[in-house]
Amino acid sequence: MFRPISVISRRSFQKNKGRNLVAAIAIVLTTLMFTTLFVLSQSMNKNIVEMTFRQTGYDAQASFQSITGEQADAVASHPEVKEVGNSLVAGLAQDKRISGRQVEIRWADESYAAHSFALPTVGRMPESPDEIALDTIVLDRLGVSHELGSQVTIGWIADFVSKEEVTSTFTLCGFWEGNESSYASMAWVGEDFAREAAFAGESNSEAIAGKRMAQVSLYSERDIAGTMDRILSDVGIDGLEYSVNLAYSPEMNRMAAQESLPMYAGMVLVFLAGYLIIYNIFQISVTADIQFYGKLKTLGMTKRQLKKLIYMQAGRLCLVGIPVGLLLGYVLGAVLVPVLISFQTGSVSANPVIFVGSALFAGLTVLVSCMRPAKLAGKVSPIEALRYNDAEESNRHRRKKRQGSASVPALAWSNLGRNRKRTVILVCSLTLGLVLMSCFYAKNVSFDMEKYLAGLTIADYQIDEATSEDYMAGYDPQGSTLDDRLVRLIESMDGLEETGHLYSHETEIALNSRTVENIQGFYAGERLNEWAAYDAAGVEAMRSAVENKKASSVIYGIDGIPLDVYGGETYWENGSFDEALFAAGGYVLAIGPGMETGIQKQAMPTVSVGDTVSIEGREYTVMAVLNNLQPVTEGAKENGAQDAFYLDFIMPAETFRECWPDNTLRKLYFNVGDDKMDEVQEKLDGYFAETGLTLSVTSRKSMEEQYERETRAGAVMGNAISVVIALVGVLNFINSMVTSIVSRKKEFAMMQSVGMTKSQLCKLLVFEGLDYTVLTLSVTYVLSALAVGVGVRAMVEGGFSTFRFTLLPLVLCTPILAGLAILVPYLCFRNLEKDSLTERLRSTD
Amino acid sequence: MEIIVKATGLKKYYGEGEALVKALDGVDLEIERGKFTAIVGTSGSGKSTLLNMLGGLDVPDEGSVRIGSQELSRLNAEQATIFRRKQIGFIFQNYNLVPVLTVWENIIFPISLDGRKPDRKFIMDIVKLLGLESKLDSFPNQLSGGQQQRAAIARALATKPSIILADEPTGNLDSGTSDDVVSLLKMSGSQFHQTIVMITHNPEIAARADRVIQIEDGRIAYVSANICD
């Protein structure tokens, strides 16, 4: 059976190779961008979910912190439960070599280990009491080689009250790759070993040893709390406390969706860029072939059949372009994922959604782009087609008012006006990419590292006592890791510019009525609701503090760098700071919550300036109220748990040492000359290697690097997309210019036959190209200046940025575009000249 | 005799003011079934416009065209296209063959567009009559002008139209070939009982028609009935 439309579609497709190549490249680029965006957003999603699993420590739906073996078995037998994993806690590792990392010593069944991402990949789970399985992080910290059968000696404690340390030696029977983002490492031991430890700890209710925990995997992820309640009541143990894995909360999905938001914006841009070029290509080719379509209509092809013909051509191009685009896009995405995802090792998602979605979006872009050209082809009148030329209809009725001069530049300019719609599309296409590029660049250079770092670190280096950030066991105010030896080592280094010290002590203070009022006034309305939504226990603690007029308090003793920084006005909320008066003692500074400065009108939720506070028997006057400064206040509380309401104070380090002479240094800050950075790092590394200590060192440099890792995502993404869009614009530009010259072959031959010289023709073409460029660049400069000056300025306001007006990418692109505008017409001219004048005059397409 | 084409008060103006061109300025015309009519006139006289209107390719500003019992103005563009490909065979001066289709595909093109199966035997009769048997698999650009025009004629006849409208079918052909083409048209017309309306500049060809209509300045200037046939 002869199918005329598909035969014509197929054969004319083969005929127009050059044109199809350009269209196919446009489709490939469009698909590539869609696929890359899809890969990135899907991988982002996947990694966020994985990261949350790691942080919560498991990927089952719910867990019990305390359950008996019988109860666990009962839950496991419920039909809605897929699997229950069991674990028995033996204790916590307590070892200098692994300080700062929580290592839980437990027995677990395979299910529990697997759902905790801690199933040995080499070897097996322990069976006998002298076996242990560990992750590589702990092995490395302990200095044990990754080999089954290695001897592992580890110090640990079974209960937190006596804190009695025990040292045991095990044989390594299995290990797996550790993950830094999980909250703790597991050390699996045999069941008998754990039982024995549990028995020993049973006498003490504060002991953690002997706690039996379980993780429940359900068949459905829907309404986990409801299902759990139903299960518990079915097996007759309602009320048993359980927690739902945070990773399954709707909040998580919302967060993941939010992370993908820039991707959606990117997709809109890609769609726009794809539309501008594909539409233009089809419009040009339909216009060029309009007589052909007119002929087909004369012969009886209907509007619908003509449209079908255009869509079939587009379909053919998609069949070639989309698979190539998918492939290239996936590869590009896979390369970009590790760059983009800083918080994880970054696995690349191969979700079929990526391919189906990208193909659909690319196909949709092509379809939408073809709609107008198809309509144009469909409504061709058989009579019109016979006298159709490249100009728009409406121009015919317009008359030139002035007697136009026939100079070459004037002719070139009027040629641009012959097809206004195409000129507009072309200018838009190029402008889109260039404006985007300018915006991304301006946004990136506006970032001010100093402003950003100011909130995070106040010194070149900050060294913390090992337990300072131990949120489980709590900070030990008499900890010995940040000892005199280390302090002397640092303070004797040459190139040292400044130092600072921080001590802390936890106590309880009484609240006067003014303070209570401040607290109640501050935590009210929306702010209170917001707080309650994510931290109900915190609100409860605040209420009980208000009721009992008593609050917990951390007293910080500081001198040097942190005090200098606090002396700056940025952190002042109320009162004024008199350095000499403060140093003399008798005064404290109160710390408010970390709020955006200057926004709130209410009093800070703490004591008022001028009040007297009694701290462990001594009276102090409140000199000022300050905003929270993270590098000072960050860290664990002494008991680890934080369900208490705190009002914190600052006093001079000297006064602090008088009050609590036994407390050791918690944080050491110091600045060194820029040229000494490497030397300092070397010294610290040497010290840690020698002592086997691992203290947290925060350096300005590492923060800078961390920032760059975290924000590379946006930067790379933005730049990549805007560059590809600009490329698409350039492709569009070249294609339009080439086709507009080729389609006027005969017209040029005619002009030459009546006396236009070769050099005049060449000049005409170059002028046309330059006119396009001048037009595009003027529009681009104006729009970019507006977008950068208004849009980017507003966007970076308030962030860690100092706005700087720049159009550097445009300035760099200007000569490139100008070069293209000259080169492309020139090459086309050379190509025209290959055929003789008479040949061209006689040619009938 | 039965009237198959009836045009009444056809008018078509282009432009306005000084540039106003009256392509057709009130043409009334009746054409009998089975007759061979020649339209003559100087270039720009409006003959092509008239022919296009008779075939529904163009729409008059005023007046109406009836083909058989169908009033063309009652049809929308889509219906007009379908009516045209079923009822009217067009032959153009520049042949209008689709370059990417073979001769055979060109001949059955309008039928296939209609979703119908070509009447193979009937079409092969035409092909033989026109001497195109050996050229069926060739593409138009491999044929001479005369061969191309014969292919176009075969295409016009293949749909078994009641009317054939030909716009200077011999305009691009030498005199020998022209004679052949006209003979073929006449022959097929009488064989398949078709009405033929043909524009020509050639007085010899016009002389072979049953009737000659002369158009000048958008009006019928003269009608003559030839008696030689």
Q: Do B101 and A11 touch (CB under 8 A)?
A: yes
Distance CA B152, CA B154 (A): 5
Model confidence pLDDT, tens digit, residues B20-61: 888 888 889 999 888 899 999 888 788 888 888 898 888 888
Number of domains in chain A: 4
Q: Do B109 and A4 touch (CB under 8 A)?
A: yes
Confidence of residue A761 (pLDDT cuts 50, 70, 90): confident
What is the per-residue pLDDT for A492? Answer: 83
What element of type H or E holds A502?
A: strand A496-510
What is the per-residue pLDDT for A397? Answer: 45
Distance CA A829, CA A741 (A): 8
Residue A794 three-state SS:
helix
> In DSSP terms, which residues pair with A244 in a beta bridge?
A62
CB pairs under 8 A between A and B: 63
Distance CA B204, CA B182 (A): 10
B204 contacts: CB under 8 Å, gap ≥ 6: none
Decide which of A573 and A743 is more confident: A743
pLDDT value at A686 more than 50: yes
Amino acid identity, position A250: P
Q: Which of residues 295-324 of A touch B (CB under 8 A)?
A: 295-305
What is the per-residue pLDDT for A393? Answer: 44
What element of type H or E holds A426?
A: helix A420-446
Residue A138 token pair:
């702990």
What letter would DSSP give residue A456? T
Model confidence pLDDT, tens digit, residues A246-276: 778 777 777 777 777 777 888 888 888 889 8
What letter would DSSP give residue A673? -
Is residue A396 situated within a structural domain? Answer: no
Out of A65-69, A203-207, A475-479, A682-686, least confident range: A203-207
Task: Kindly state whether A387 is in contact with chain B, defined as any CB-CB distance less than 8 angstroms.
Answer: no
- The shortest CB-CB distance from B110 to any of A3, A11, A300 is to A300
pLDDT value at A431 more than 70: yes
| Cα dihedral A545, A590, A491, A457 sign | positive
Domain end, chosen from A244, A261, A295, is at A244
| Mean pLDDT, rounded, for A787-813 | 83
Q: Do A298 and B57 touch (CB under 8 A)?
A: yes
Is residue A692 situated within a structural domain? Answer: no
What is the per-residue pLDDT for B213? Answer: 92
Hey, what's the torsion of the CAs at B67, B71, B73, B77, to 10 degrees? -70
Q: Choosing among A299, A313, A383, A399, which should be mutated to test the B contact, i.e. which has the most B CBs within 10 A?
A: A299
User: Which range, A441-445, A814-818, A831-835, B181-185, has the best average confidence (pLDDT)?
Assistant: A814-818
- Nearest residue to A346 (alpha-carbon basis) of A53, A45, A115: A45
Model confidence pLDDT, tens digit, residues A335-392: 877 776 655 556 777 788 889 999 999 999 999 999 999 998 888 887 766 554 444 4
Residue A828 token pair:
């086309």
Inter-residue contact B165 to B55 (CB < 8 Å):
yes
Mean pLDDT, chain A, integer: 82
- B109 contact residues in A (CB cutoff 8 A): 4, 299-300
Task: Kindly state whether B84 is in contact with chain A, defined as any CB-CB distance less than 8 angstroms.
Answer: yes
Is residue A707 situated within a structural domain? Answer: yes
- Nearest residue to B200 (alpha-carbon basis) of B179, B217, B221, B219: B179
Is residue A814 situated within a structural domain? Answer: yes
> In DSSP terms, which residues pair with B167 in a beta bridge?
B199
Model confidence pLDDT, tens digit, residues A300-345: 889 999 999 999 999 999 999 999 999 998 988 888 777 766 555 5
Distance CA B6, CA A460 (A): 99
Domain end, chosen from A388, A416, A431, is at A388
pLDDT value at A601 more than 60: no
Residues A519 and A486 grouped into a single domain? yes
Residues A661 and A537 grouped into a single domain? yes
Confidence of residue A188 (pLDDT cuts 50, 70, 90): very high
* DSSP letters spanning A27-67: HHHHHHHHHHHHHHHHHHHHHHHHHHHHHHT--SSEEESS-
User: Which range, A384-398, A571-585, A711-725, A808-822, has the best average confidence (pLDDT)?
Assistant: A808-822
Model confidence pLDDT, tens digit, residues B79-122: 888 888 888 988 888 888 888 889 999 999 988 888 888 889 98
pLDDT value at A175 more than 50: yes
Distance CA A170, CA A154 (A): 8
| Mean pLDDT, rounded, for A450-454 | 74
What is the per-residue pLDDT for A172? Answer: 92
What is the per-residue pLDDT for A374? Answer: 92
| Nearest CA-CA distance, residue A8 and chain B, Å | 6
- A12 contact residues in B (CB cutoff 8 A): 100
- In chain B the domains, ranked by start, together with CATH numbers, are 34-59+71-225 (3.40.50.300)
What is the per-residue pLDDT for B37? Answer: 92
Decide which of B213 and A758 is more confident: B213
Distance CA A368, CA A274 (A): 10
Residues A660 and A528 grouped into a single domain? yes
- Nearest residue to B57 (alpha-carbon basis) of B81, B87, B93: B81
Model confidence pLDDT, tens digit, residues A190-219: 888 888 777 665 555 555 667 788 999 988
pLDDT value at B227 more than 60: no
Residue matched to tokens 């196909």: A363
- Nearest residue to A352 (alpha-carbon basis) of A375, A326, A371: A326
What is the per-residue pLDDT for B104? Answer: 92
Is residue A563 situated within a structural domain? Answer: yes
- The shortest CB-CB distance from A299 to any of B58, B82, B110 is to B110
Residues A534 and A658 grouped into a single domain? yes
Mean pLDDT, chain B, integer: 86
Task: Kindly state whether B226 is in contact with chain A, defined as any CB-CB distance less than 8 angstroms.
Answer: no
Is residue A398 situated within a structural domain? Answer: no
Q: Do B109 and A299 touch (CB under 8 A)?
A: yes
- A383 contact residues in B (CB cutoff 8 A): 52, 57-58
What is the per-residue pLDDT for A322? Answer: 94
Inter-residue contact A217 to A115 (CB < 8 Å):
yes
Distance CA A65, CA A242 (A): 7
Amino acid identity, position A517: E
The CA–CA distances, whole Å, from B11 to A385, B16, B30 equal 21, 14, 16
Distance CA A140, CA A422 (A): 65
Distance CA B170, CA A534 (A): 89
Decide which of A206 and A154 is more confident: A154
A599 contacts: CB under 8 Å, gap ≥ 6: none
Q: Which of residues 87-126 of B touch A (CB under 8 A)?
A: 90, 92, 96, 98, 100-101, 105, 108-110, 112-114, 117-118
Distance CA B120, CA B67 (A): 27
Domain end, chosen from A221, A244, A267, is at A244
> In DSSP terms, which residues pair with B11 in a beta bridge?
B25, B62
pLDDT value at A417 more than 90: no
Q: What is the pTM of this model?
A: 0.70
Query: Which domain, by its residues, includes A36?
Result: 1-56+250-388
* CB crowding B168-203: b at 16 or more within 10 Å, else e: bbbbbbeeebbbbbbebbbebbeebebbbbbbbebe
Task: Give the residue ranges of DSSP H helices in A502-600.
Answer: 513-522, 525-534, 536-548, 561-567, 579-583
The total number of residues shown for chain B amounts to 229
| Cα dihedral A748, A753, A755, A757 sign | positive
Residue A526 token pair:
């929306």
CA atoms within 13 A on the CB side of A175: 20
Exposed, middle or buried by CB within 10 Å (0-12, 13-18, 19+), for A603? buried
- B83 contact residues in A (CB cutoff 8 A): none
Is residue A690 situated within a structural domain? Answer: no
Residues A69 and A49 grouped into a single domain? no
* DSSP letters spanning A341-379: --SS--PPP--HHHHHHHHHHHHHHHHHHHHHHHHHHHT
Residues A702 and A667 grouped into a single domain? no
* DSSP letters spanning A594-652: ---TTT--SPPSSPPTT-EEEETTEEEEEEEEE---HHHH-S--TTS---S-B-EEEEE
Decide which of A738 and A709 is more confident: A738
Residues A754 and A820 grouped into a single domain? yes
The CA–CA distances, whole Å, from B44 to A158, A182, A186, B24, B198 equal 110, 88, 97, 10, 16
A36 contacts: CB under 8 Å, gap ≥ 6: A329, A332, A333, A336, A720
Task: Kindly state whether A11 is in contact with chain B, defined as any CB-CB distance less than 8 angstroms.
Answer: yes
Is residue A220 situated within a structural domain? Answer: yes
Distance CA B63, CA B13 (A): 12
pLDDT value at A394 more than 50: no
- Nearest residue to A712 (alpha-carbon basis) of A347, A332, A338: A338
Residues A436 and A470 grouped into a single domain? no
Task: Kindly state whether A396 is in contact with chain B, defined as any CB-CB distance less than 8 angstroms.
Answer: no
Q: Do A299 and B96 touch (CB under 8 A)?
A: yes
Model confidence pLDDT, tens digit, residues A614-663: 888 888 988 888 877 777 888 888 876 567 788 889 999 888 888 888 88
Residues A152 and A230 grouped into a single domain? yes
Residues A193 and A128 grouped into a single domain? yes
Residues A453 and A538 grouped into a single domain? no
- Nearest residue to A86 (alpha-carbon basis) of A104, A61, A69: A69
Q: Report the complex ipTM.
A: 0.84
**Rounded to the nearest 5 degrees, what angle is found at the Cα of A689, between the Cα atoms of A685 and A690?**
120
Residues A571 and A660 grouped into a single domain? yes
Model confidence pLDDT, tens digit, residues A45-92: 777 777 778 777 888 888 888 888 888 888 888 888 898 999 988 888
